[in-house]
Chains A and B, each alone.
Chain A
Amino acid sequence: MTTETPKTTHGGTTTAPRGGGNIELSPLAGLVGIVGGWLVASIALTLFRIWGDAIDWNWSGGDWKALLGLTGGKLLFVSALGALVGLLGAINGSSVYRRHGLVRALAGIGVGYAVGAAITMLVRMAFGLVAYSEGPVVVFGILGAYAFYVAGLGGWSAWAWYARGAATPEHEDHSNHGARRGWRDFLIFNTDHKVIGLQYLIAVFFFMLVGGAMAESVRAELANPDLQFFSDGSAYNKAMSLHGVIMLFLFIIPVYSGIANYIVPIMLGAPDMAYPRLNALSFWTFLFGGMVFLASIPLGTFEAGWTNYATLSTTNGGSTVEIGQLMWLLGIQLVGASSIMTAVNFVVTIVAMRAPGMTMWRMPLFVWGNLTQSLLIVFGTPFVAGSQFMVLFDLVMGTSFFNAMLGGDAISYQHIFWFYSHPAVYIMILPGFGLISDVLTTHARKPLFGYRAIAISTLGIGFLGFTVWAHHMFTSGMADWLRLPMMILTMLIAVPTGIKVLGWSATLWKAKIHMTVPMMWTLGFLFTFTCGGLTGVMLAAVPFDIHVQDTYFVVAHFHYVLFGGSVMTVFAGIYHWFPKMTGRMFDATLGKLHFWLMFIGMNVTFFPMHWLGTLGMNRRIADYQQLSDNYPSVHGWNIVITIGALMQGLGFVVFLYNMATSWRRGPIAGPNPWRSHTLEWQVSSPPPLFNFHGTPVVVGAPYDYGIPGAKHALLFGETGHAEALEAATTRRPVSASEHSEAPTAH
């Protein structure tokens, strides 16, 4: 294949941004856009429905109005979408939008849905079927919407050019790379890992806000027995399911993608991720999947919990709303695909793009954690995808994977689901373990106690994680003998986990602890995560688990590991790297307030759940009247729990405020405010476009605190760099400098 000489322009637009940074948005145009979009959408839909009703249009059995299934709340929803498109249309004068097509992407959603739905209906008609059938139409509609949305963003173009054998101009001119034009570069198909990292973080904290609101509504309902906040059990189940799904799939898993996207390549001494375009695709796919979940809310959403067990899920959660269940099934596929793309990217980046001298034993533990997590994702996520496809097929195509009356088996769902979802709990914590090691050593000014043991225990946990899935099924009626090996293996995981916790504690011994905000989260994590880990061992004991499975004891356990574990590490990491990502310092007083509100709040919320569970409060219930009649203390504790939940909510608001204001007005932080040794702190804050002005070379361990003058790495141009590079590259035959040679011209 011949390569053409790279073009500097394409598609008739120039590569240079127009206007040098002014957004051409008039408030009036925005207002007109919003109102106009809203009006047009709602009038069109209303006419559509009136027309449909009046003539009762019949298209070999399918009604026009059923085509969109639009009624009351949905009308509002679609009109709001119209308003959004209108708004973006109004600011379309800005060159960025015209070039990079956020508007095209949004329009693509509508067009793609219509195309997908139309093709499906035409095919159905061709075979003499009723044209409209909710299942297939929604499925292909959403898939069509996704394809057109990415096309609108320009996400497929590079691959299309490759396929045609043409040059890929963006690759040459880097016009889709980096944040040189400020916030507008966050709205494009940007291939810079630092931009993608921040895109992820902003998106996931938005999702956490929604998931947190759901948690607060769940607590509002449970503060008192009987139903008061929600109209019925079904509404409660929806809020509860959304809370779980959003927190897991839209917050805790992707938040690590965000932090790692920003930090890992710099830690490795690389200019970017191995596949920048795949990286961008995975972010925008994630965002689309998340939007599918959120868009399901006005359409009736799903109510079978985040576990989505068959046959509850194959019967729409027992309710009559099918579309919400379908949207969950598609959203999870998209989010899962995004997760796999990111993981593949990290594995390749970590294996192939380390700076010279960065041997495995010199990698910071965040990199180790991320590598193991990525391997788990690559091997595990296809299983959850498979289980949800089977549910989709049962629901839409009438297959019978889980329908016993047709020879299916409901338990097999749980096996397949947990074969991913147990490793998934390590997907949700391993990067956090790594992250904590980095934060801890920096702020305690000490090397990690037992670096190698901790690194290996990470891999050990990853491996054992695949052998214990059925500990979630001790009461499911699965083969009885399976309980024994699952119990022993589960308990064994406590050993590598213990290595970590004890290693971290020992690191503090004779340290110089600085009580910075990230350090407070780290120390808090040590208490709460230990608590969650210990109840995990209790739960592994089958006879005890049989009593408390599906009770609040389990809810307490997994919040101690997810909130007390993962979320605490996330906040530690965010505060630790905030100065690196933004170049500014956060407000430490607000950071401490945030910590205390959350730390106290989480213990007030989740600690009493332990004994509520053992006492008999089962999980996922909208009402506990009969239980509190028999055991009156249940009510009091539920009030306490709701108060704790409010404290946490308050803490989160403080956090968002702190982040937003400090990002804009915080004092300049400088390159290395924490005096850390790892590579990301050796460059400016935020780092230059390609991270380094030349290939750095790694010369020592990452955490050699306590040795005067110890260095983890030498930057290009530093004394001794040339010799060290020489030494490192001759020992390593595959030259990594090839990759990390940053195009310094930028």
Chain B
Amino acid sequence: MKGQWGRLAGYFIGTLLISSAVTFGLPLLGGGSWLPDLVSSEGKAIDQLFWGLLILSLIIFAIVAAIVIYSMVHFRAAPGDLSDGEHIHGNAKMEAAWVIIPSLIVFVIGLLSYNVLRDNEVGLYDQEAAAHDAPGAAQMQVEVRGFQFGWAFRYLDRDGKQVVGEKGDEPQGELVVPVDKVIKFNVMSCSGKERLGRLRRQVDRKLDAGDEEDEFAKIEPGLCERKWDLTTEDDRASAEDDQAKIHAAQAKQADGKHLSADERKLLDAQPRFKGDDQFVDVNHAFWVPEARLKIDAVSGLRTYVQWQATHVTGPQDHYQVVCAELCGSGHNGMRTDMCVVSKNTWDWFKGLGQDERKTATCVNLRLLACLDKIDDRSAALEDIVALSKKHPNAGCDQAEEAVA
């Protein structure tokens, strides 16, 4: 009897070792890992929680696996053995134990998780704490907009005043954040495109009914305007193309001529009011894997997430903002670069004009991070732009060389 438990313990240790080796070892193959770099101070506790849960899971798995493997080895029926096993149909004490112990374990996990959540969300859903400058509360805000298929960012101070560029500027297409500041991201989904024909038509109906002042349009004027939404040449060209077709169809209609089905469809989807407004888009999710935090972008609803960047990103840190929620055909490409800059760089960045900011992309800002002591960043940026055009994967050495 005693030997049996000893052997079972041996099986347990064996399974634990093997499953741990597989779980921790395999991901390292090919230079991989379980987790990407960490860039947020909030992520530290999340990672610890993850490792803790993973180890706990391995232990529980090993307990079950050890019992099963042990039985498979030692309680096999010999060939031709038609007898039954022992008639044991339960054990009240054991059954009570495996109700109580797991309950306690999950209660502790719940409590720990709650603590992490609370520490990471100071003031996020609690205006009171935010207003009183609680430690850990947001020091800055970023308006984030997701649309099919891209991201737009605009930077505000704690009170909502725009700090980068002027009102009416095109928003930033990449995320640039200063290091060591708790940033609250206000996330929403909206669209400037008319592609969502059916929804657009519904909107028309509402506006036809005389409701000219659309509440929705007030939420964040400018962030979802059509003009910057059509980013590529192709988009613009096809929009112009559509426009021409629509004009032709309208002319035909005015002349009382017969319209084809395609033309009718085109007119049907045409908005009957003017103005650059925002439109309902599909759900997206704003995720920076290196920050370990995400939140959905939803039309008509602001959602929040906040974190603090812990280090400036250099040329090797290709972090990205990723859309994690299925949003249509372009979902897989809905990624954009993100980078963290030093306080000095941020102060300089804030003062840039709209056009200059366009060259201060993350690729270049990451290279600029190699030269943090430099005074004239605008001049250095020109050299770096030239460098990154030639060598997209340039490192710090080359950046220093290029600027020097």
Show the binding face of A for B, using Cβ within 8 Å.
56, 58, 61, 63, 66, 232-234, 236-237, 303-305, 307, 309, 311-312, 314-319, 395, 398, 400, 403-406, 408-411, 444-453, 475-477, 480-481, 483-484, 487-488, 491-492, 494-495, 498-499, 501-503, 505-506, 508-515, 523, 526-527, 530-531, 534-535, 537-538, 541-544, 546-547, 549-551, 607-608, 611, 614-616, 618-624, 626, 629-634, 636-637, 675, 701, 703-707
Contacts and interface: CB of A to CB of B under 8 A. Distances in A.
Given A449-B88, A541-B53, A523 B68 contact: yes
Closest 7 CB pairs between A and B? A404-B300, A633-B32, A318-B328, A706-B87, A477-B303, A616-B289, A508-B71
B34 A611 contact: yes
A411 B298 contact: yes
A277 to B, nearest CB: 40
A510 to B, nearest CB: 4
Contact of B75 (A508, A535, A615): A508
Contact of B86 (A315, A317, A446, A501): A446
A505 B68 contact: yes
Interface stretch (B112-120, B228-236, B352-360): B112-120
14 contacts: A233-B329, A309-B326, A311-B281, A449-B90, A487-B110, A491-B107, A505-B71, A512-B81, A515-B76, A537-B53, A538-B54, A608-B26, A623-B332, A633-B27
A303 to B, nearest CB: 7
B280 A305 contact: no
Interface stretch (B155-163, B199-207, B373-381): B199-207
Contact of B326 (A312, A452, A703): A312
Interface of B: 22, 26-27, 29-36, 43, 45-46, 49-50, 53-54, 57, 60-61, 64-65, 67-68, 71-72, 75-77, 81-91, 94-95, 98-99, 102-103, 106-107, 109-110, 112-114, 116-117, 120-121, 124-125, 148, 187, 196, 198-199, 201-203, 205-206, 214, 216, 258, 260-261, 264, 279-283, 285, 287, 289-290, 292-296, 298-303, 318, 320, 322-333, 335
A530 B61 contact: yes
A234 B329 contact: yes
A312 B77 contact: no
A510 B279 contact: no
A543 B89 contact: no
**Residue of A312, A477, A535, A608 with most partner-chain B CB within 10 A:** A477
A480 B296 CA distance: 13
A384 to B, nearest CB: 18
B282 A312 contact: yes
Contacts of A544: 46, 49-50, 53, 113
A552 to B, nearest CB: 11
A398 B202 CA distance: 6
A345 B374 CA distance: 78
B98 A499 contact: yes
A527 B35 contact: no
Contacts of B102: 494-495, 498
A495 B109 contact: no
B280 A404 contact: yes
**Residue of A303, A312, A444 with most partner-chain B CB within 10 A:** A312
A510 B88 contact: yes
Given A61-B264, A314-B199, A475-B296, 6 more contacts: A404-B299, A484-B117, A492-B106, A495-B102, A510-B86, A704-B87
Contact of B60 (A316, A512, A534): A534
A93 B27 CA distance: 63
Contact of B85 (A444, A527, A620): A444
A513 B87 contact: no
Nearest to A317: B328
A444 B87 CA distance: 11
Contact of A546 (B54, B281, B294): B294
B295 A477 contact: yes
B331 A237 contact: yes
B335 to A, nearest CB: 6
A448 B260 CA distance: 71
B263 to A, nearest CB: 12
Given A312-B327, A404-B301, A527 B109 contact: no
Contacts of B54: 538
A384 B156 CA distance: 41
A615 B85 contact: no
Nearest to B216: A405
B294 A505 contact: no
Given A61-B264, A398-B202, A495-B99, A318 B329 contact: yes
Contacts of B124: 480
A716 B260 CA distance: 75
A87 B106 CA distance: 60
A63 B258 CA distance: 12
Contacts of A620: 326, 331
Nearest to A710: B87
A232 B94 CA distance: 56
A312 to B, nearest CB: 4
Given A400-B202, A492-B106, A526-B64, A447 B87 contact: yes
Contact of B88 (A311, A406, A408, A446): A446
A706 B86 contact: yes
A307 B326 CA distance: 10
Given A311-B280, A487-B110, A615-B36, A538 B50 contact: yes
Contact of B201 (A398, A484, A509): A398
A339 to B, nearest CB: 25
Contacts of A491: 106-107, 109-110
A311 B299 contact: yes
Nearest to A58: B258
Nearest to B206: A406
A237 B334 CA distance: 14
Contact of A509 (B71, B117, B301): B71
A579 B346 CA distance: 73
Given A487-B113, A550-B285, A705-B84, A494 B106 contact: yes
Contacts of A547: 43, 46, 50, 289, 292-294
A232 B329 contact: yes
A236 B332 CA distance: 10
B279 A614 contact: no
A511 B75 contact: yes
A494 B53 CA distance: 14
Nearest to B214: A405
B68 A508 contact: yes
B33 A616 contact: no
A398 B282 contact: no
Contacts of B71: 505, 508-509, 511, 513
Contacts of B95: 450, 453, 499, 503
Given A449-B90, A487-B110, A513-B71, A233 B294 contact: no
Contacts of B216: 404-405
B324 A309 contact: no
Contacts of B81: 512
B30 A633 contact: yes
B75 A513 contact: yes
A319 B330 CA distance: 11
**Residue of A404, A447, A534 with most partner-chain B CB within 10 A:** A404
A450 B301 contact: no
Contacts of A406: 202-203, 206
Given A487-B110, A495-B102, A542-B113, A535 B57 contact: yes
Contacts of B332: 233, 236, 621-624
A409 B300 contact: yes
A238 B27 CA distance: 30
Contacts of A495: 99, 102-103, 106
A506 B64 CA distance: 9
B61 A534 contact: yes
B289 to A, nearest CB: 4
Contacts of B26: 607-608, 611
Given A303-B329, A611-B27, A616-B289, A445 B57 contact: no
Given A530-B61, A534-B60, A409 B301 contact: yes
